[in-house]
Amino acid sequence: MGQIQLTGLTKRFGDTVAVDDLSLDIDDEEFLVLVGPSGCGKSTTLRMLAGLETPTSGDIYIGGDHMNYRVPQNRDIAMVFQDYALYPHMTVRQNIRFGLEEEEGYTSAERDERVVEVAETLGIADLLDRKPDELSGGQQQRVALGRAIVRDPEVFLMDEPLSNLDAKLRAEMRTELQNLQDQLAVTTVYVTHNQTEAMTMADRIAVMDGGELQQVASPFECYHEPNNLFVAEFIGEPMINLVRGTRSETAFVGEHFSYPLDADVMESVGDREDLVLGIRPEDIAVVDATTDDTPADDAALGDHELRMDVTVVEPHGDQNVLHLSHPDQPSADDALQAVTEGMHLVTRGDRVTVTIPPDKIHVFDAETGTAVHNRRHDQEADRTQLEQ
Ligand code: ATP
């Protein structure tokens, strides 16, 4: 069984704490993505799992067996790195077969058969007699995967395996890797700093920062129920809007606007004074202020409405990203970004009415970064909608 348990795992390099007291349970057959900015300790965690680094303290279990002192060959894992590390003088067949080198219990004919079987799974059976320099980047990546799969390990460890591919191929390989993992049902720990890969591939995402685990949850939860400001900012493109301010009796008070908070949100805020208000760009509604149904002056604005100016329009085809500032305050800290659909034509310089729906806001403690309130949603209903 390929379940993995990490308990209090710590790795120091001199004064640097690369991984700090990491405890994490990964289910058998789960696809877990370790994500975080450069230097957060992802690769070190993976290397400890692989047996390429020794933990300073803490324990690693795979399938219930203690792994700390086992050499990599005896851990029943296979690794795929960013650098495919194919042997240039060997054919594809020989490179894949090399993955079986250390395995016992195969006859030579069985090894050949297994190589062909794996090559067929990966759609590279017609390339078996080529050398790596006769292959495209995507094909080389498949050979590297083949070398890992051929051993039928309990666990795959992948460190940024797609980062050398161009954007289109990367998207294709993402889907292929997911299908393959489904088909092979092998526990996979996948390291990336790319949050799109994390969101689209993971059963669960483990977000790390400064060696510490910030949150481990489904992509849905990391996005809609972040534990803290770090996770909220790291997951989501364009980034969540974060506005610093303080609390009055009934409202969040920013530099340029005041935003009423519902009673239950105020209750969660408690006696905290310094707050950060968060709202995802796609949750902001934007209406052209010159249309008939918008209030003519600020006094007529609703509680959750603001008047703002469009400073930049980034067209992405299917959607536009609007940069919005408070009138005559283009560089204010509480400027916002909003996403509107591509057919919603807005131009730079337009004055718009912006609605921040109260059920979509997040509130964070400015001092600790902890989420005090996350957007409301009915997870079951949202999930059903996603599946339709
Ligand atoms: P990246 O995305 O850039 O690969 P990462 O999240 O994988 O980053 P790690 O490679 O795990 O980060 O590094 C975590 C920290 O440990 C960094 O501060 C790094 O400089 C340090 N570190 C890693 N390996 C060593 C080493 N062999 N000796 C000294 N410090 C190291």
Is the separation of the CB atoms in 352 and 287 below 8 Å?
yes
Nearest residue CA, atom 17 of ligand 1? 39
The per-residue pLDDT for 1 is 73
In angstroms, the CA 255 to CA 272 distance is: 18
Is the separation of the CB atoms in 366 and 296 below 8 Å?
no
The per-residue pLDDT for 279 is 97
Cβ of 177 below 6 Å from ligand 1: no
In this predicted model, what pLDDT tens digit does every residue of 261-293 receive, in sequence order?
999 999 999 999 999 999 999 999 998 766 555
Site of tokens 């310089």: 349
The per-residue pLDDT for 381 is 63
Cβ of 24 below 6 Å from ligand 1: no
- Residues forming beta bridges with residue 212, ordered by sequence position: 209
The per-residue pLDDT for 380 is 64
The per-residue pLDDT for 262 is 94
Cβ of 44 below 6 Å from ligand 1: yes
- From first to last of its 388 residues, what are the pLDDT tens digits of the chain? 789 999 999 999 999 999 999 999 999 999 999 999 999 999 999 999 999 999 999 999 999 999 999 998 889 898 888 777 889 999 999 999 988 877 777 888 888 899 998 898 888 899 999 999 999 888 898 899 899 889 888 999 999 888 877 888 788 888 888 888 888 889 999 999 888 899 999 999 999 999 999 999 999 999 999 999 999 999 999 999 999 999 999 999 998 889 999 999 999 999 999 999 999 999 999 987 665 555 556 667 888 999 999 999 999 989 999 999 988 777 777 789 999 987 777 889 899 999 999 999 999 999 999 999 999 887 666 656 555 5
The per-residue pLDDT for 290 is 60
Instruction: Indicate left, alpha or beta for 317 from its phi (over 0: left) and psi (-120 to 50: alpha).
Output: left
Nearest residue CA, atom 19 of ligand 1? 39
Q: For residue 193, which atom of ligand 1 is closest to its CA?
A: 2
Cβ of 374 below 6 Å from ligand 1: no
Nearest residue CA, atom 25 of ligand 1? 13
Q: How many Cβ atoms from other residues are within 10 Å of residue 167's Cβ? A: 8
Nearest residue CA, atom 24 of ligand 1? 44
Nearest residue CA, atom 27 of ligand 1? 13
The per-residue pLDDT for 387 is 54
Is the separation of the CB atoms in 213 and 361 below 8 Å?
no
In angstroms, the CA 331 to CA 378 distance is: 36
How far, in Å, is the centroid of ligand 1 from the Cα of 200? 25
How far, in Å, is the centroid of ligand 1 from the Cα of 41? 6
How far, in Å, is the centroid of ligand 1 from the Cα of 39? 5
Which domains, ranges and CATH numbers included, belong to the chain? 4-229 (3.40.50.300), 239-387 (2.40.50.140)
The per-residue pLDDT for 383 is 59
Is the separation of the CB atoms in 321 and 239 below 8 Å?
no
Q: For residue 36, which atom of ligand 1 is closest to its CA?
A: 6
Cβ of 42 below 6 Å from ligand 1: yes
- pTM recorded for the entire structure: 0.89
The per-residue pLDDT for 295 is 54
The per-residue pLDDT for 368 is 97
Nearest residue CA, atom 16 of ligand 1? 18
Nearest Cα to Cα of residue 189 among 220, 214, 153: 153
How far, in Å, is the centroid of ligand 1 from the Cα of 43? 7
Nearest residue CA, atom 11 of ligand 1? 41
In angstroms, the CA 67 to CA 47 distance is: 12
Tokens of 248: 């009055």
Site of tokens 């303080």: 246
The per-residue pLDDT for 297 is 63
Cβ of 231 below 6 Å from ligand 1: no
In angstroms, the CA 61 to CA 23 distance is: 11
In this predicted model, what pLDDT tens digit does every residue of 250-259 receive, in sequence order?
999 998 889 9
- Residues forming beta bridges with residue 10, ordered by sequence position: 57
Q: For residue 211, which atom of ligand 1 is closest to its CA?
A: 14
Which residue type sits at 323?
H
**Complete edge-to-edge strand list for the sheet that includes strand 362-365:** 258-260, 251-253, 241-247, 274-279, 362-365, 371-373
